[in-house]
Structure 1
Amino acid sequence: MLEPLAMAVYSCRRAEVGGGSIVLVLGAGSIGLLTLLTAKAMGAASVCITDINEGRLRFAKTLGANRIINVSGQSEVEVAARIQHVMPSQPTAIIECSGADSSYKIGILASAPRGVMVLVGRGKPDVTLPIIEAATKEMDIRGVYRYANCYPAALALVSSGLVNVRPLVTHRFPLTQVVQAFQTAKDGAAIKVMIQVDQRK
């Protein structure tokens, strides 16, 4: 779990998350959920997370999300308005973890002036964005490709107890059930699937 957690650490650093930050996480997959935990550990005052999967959103609530929003069937403008309504103020740190075109747009529309949006998710190579909105808000849009030097911080978050990654491992399978493990991951019901090689543990 340290590899995806290191990505979350780097993403939060790129988004300048710190004490009192208002954070929007777009996408409640394993990276989005670890980003939620990391943002809270870094002192974020409020974290809102979005997704199309209600089960993942409920799970995010148990991990400490202040607000959850199911974006299914709504326009980007509607979702951005909901985010601004439920959060204490417009988010200054936006971390996109889904790779969905609509999430990129929501991040720009919901952002506070001079907000920072970090692109973690990988979607289509060409996306139409409300770039004039981003320009007039003086937003910074930053990419994420690596997470060099973040393993020590990730390890420290876990060892200190500031981040508990155990709840994210929702399914475990022995090596003899590897096909079932991959199918469970593909079906989307799991957060993180682990294949246990050593049956003695």
Structure 2
Amino acid sequence: MAKSPGLRLVESPIPEIQPNECLVHVRATGICGSDVHFWKHGQIGDAVVNNDNGLGHESAGVILKVGKDVTRFQPGDKVAIECGIPCSKATCYHCRTGQYNACPESVFFSTPPHNGTLRRYHAHPEAWLHPIPDNVSFEEGALLEPLTVALAGIDRAGLCLGDSLVICGAGPIGLVTLLAANAAGAEPIVITDLDESRLAKAKDLVPRVKAVQTSRDETAKDLGERIVQTLGQEAKLVLECTGVESSIHAGIYSTRFGGSVFVIGVGKTFQTIPFMHLSFREIDLRFQFRYHDIYPKAISLVAAGIIDMKPLVSHRFALEDGVKAFEAASNPASGAIKVQILDC
């Protein structure tokens, strides 16, 4: 396992843009759990921090300059930054079939060895910038990235009106997933977490949601039974937003025959599963890797007021205080939900 790298603020030159790129003044960037994980542990799966590596991939800003081949934008336009850049070659099966998140040559800013967007100025290809309307703030624009993760999970899991749902984890992704599932008409909904304050936040966001506070001393089977009792039935769908092995197990034990457990969270490289329980109950266990073709949908839902993510931002820091921002994001005692770094 890689050693935990240090975290520091550095000065860098304003990047030169290519003909198909725009220079963006990044106005808001959220700190993702993966950013903290790279800082604390130095790797996620096969992605290993071997050298200096800039973090951040939840960003929005304003265009300052456009390359000579850019046709869709001009200086002054507000944009959200989609950070996964596929090769887009006609010979790439995944790009050709629309699954560009699986492109083996993709560049994902903030994933080693590619620097992230947590910087004042960032050069980005025109094709992977999304216009955001005036009624969507830069903070909301930065929150679009975790919203795309939630929407991709809901789409792939096939959530329908009236589906009984369990959301494991009331962190940022779990809460965004709750907002999206509420908009999609899931009913009833249970959300779980160790942290009582996060469950209270979930109730503030969606008052009808039922909360289950978990305990490290409780077995996954017992927790699964308690989830079912609170839900009033076994779940048709579980959206697992932590990646924690015990939480995945509890989600599995709360799922009905023929139901699905859909893992959105990022966890340990190797984990065990209750294999025969899944088999005897025909429970589908599925996973998600990022997203594709979701940003326009996310922008329209936020712009229309169908999903309101503004209450998720709990802490705000200036770019110069980025290290303090990461300390708050990684410390449970801070009570942070979503920490954002802003540059005016």
TM-score range, shorter chain: over 0.9
Distance 1:24 1:196 in 2: 33
Task: Describe the superposition over 1:42-81 as per-residue Cα deviations: whole angstroms up to 9, x where unpaired.
Answer: 1111211111111111111111151111111311111111
Task: Describe the superposition over 1:132-160 as per-residue Cα deviations: whole angstroms up to 9, x where unpaired.
Answer: 11111111111100210111221122112
Q: In structure 2, what is the equivalent of residue 66 of structure 1?
A: 209
Mean Cα displacement is larger for which, 156-165 or 3-12? Answer: 156-165
Q: Is residue 16–residue 116 contact of structure 1 (8 Å, CA) maintained in 2?
A: no
Q: In structure 2, what is the equivalent of residue 170 of structure 1?
A: 314
Q: How far did residue 172 of structure 1 move? A: 0.9
Q: Is residue 318–residue 343 contact of structure 2 (8 Å, CA) maintained in 1?
A: yes
When the two structures are aligned, how many residues end up with a matched partner? 198
Q: Is residue 19–residue 43 contact of structure 1 (8 Å, CA) maintained in 2?
A: yes
User: Higher relative contact order by CA 8 Å / sep ≥ 6: 1 or 2?
Assistant: 1
DSSP-derived class of the 1:95 partner: strand
Q: Is residue 144–residue 299 contact of structure 2 (8 Å, CA) maintained in 1?
A: yes
Q: Is residue 15–residue 94 contact of structure 1 (8 Å, CA) maintained in 2?
A: no
Aligned residues with identical type, % of pairs: 37
1:51 and 2:197 matched: no
Task: Describe the superposition over 1:13-66 as per-residue Cα deviations: whole angstroms up to 9, x where unpaired.
Answer: 122111001111111110111001101111111211111111111111111151
Q: TM-score w.r.t. structure 2 length? A: 0.56
Q: In structure 2, what is the equivalent of residue 191 of structure 1?
A: 337
Structure 2 counterpart of 1:59, one-letter code:
K
Q: In structure 2, what is the equivalent of residue 41 of structure 1?
A: 183
Q: How far did residue 177 of structure 1 move? A: 2.2
Structure 1 counterpart of 2:150, one-letter code:
A
Structure 1 counterpart of 2:149, one-letter code:
M
Task: Describe the superposition over 1:143-196 as per-residue Cα deviations: whole angstroms up to 9, x where unpaired.
Answer: 100210111221122112111000000111122322221111111321111111
1:130 and 2:280 matched: no
Distance 1:156 1:35 in 2: 16
Larger CA Rg, structure 1 vs 2: 2
Distance 1:179 1:128 in 2: 35
Q: TM-score w.r.t. structure 1 length? A: 0.94
Q: In structure 1, what is the equivalent of residue 168 of structure 2?
A: 26
Mean Cα displacement is larger for which, 124-133 or 18-27? Answer: 124-133
DSSP-derived class of the 1:86 partner: helix
Structure 2 counterpart of 1:44, one-letter code:
A
Q: In structure 2, list runs of 5 or more residues that go unmatched.
A: 1-142
Report matched runs for 1:70-109 at 5 Å: 70-72=213-215, 73-109=217-253
DSSP-derived class of the 1:149 partner: coil
Distance 1:176 1:98 in 2: 30
**Pairing partner for 1:10 from 152, 160, 163:** 152
Task: Supply the RMSD in Å over aligned alpha carbons.
Answer: 1.2
1:149 and 2:293 matched: yes
Question: Which structure features the higher share of strand residues?
Answer: 2
Structure 1 counterpart of 2:186, one-letter code:
A
Q: Is residue 164–residue 235 contact of structure 2 (8 Å, CA) maintained in 1?
A: yes
Distance 2:233 2:299 in 1: 32
Mean Cα displacement is larger for which, 25-34 or 122-131? Answer: 122-131
Q: In structure 1, list runs of 5 or more residues that go unmatched.
A: none
Structure 1 counterpart of 2:338, one-letter code:
K
**Pairing partner for 1:139 from 283, 289, 308:** 283
Structure 1 counterpart of 2:289, one-letter code:
Y
Structure 2 counterpart of 1:55, one-letter code:
S
Distance 1:45 1:161 in 2: 21
Structure 2 counterpart of 1:67, one-letter code:
K
DSSP-derived class of the 1:116 partner: strand
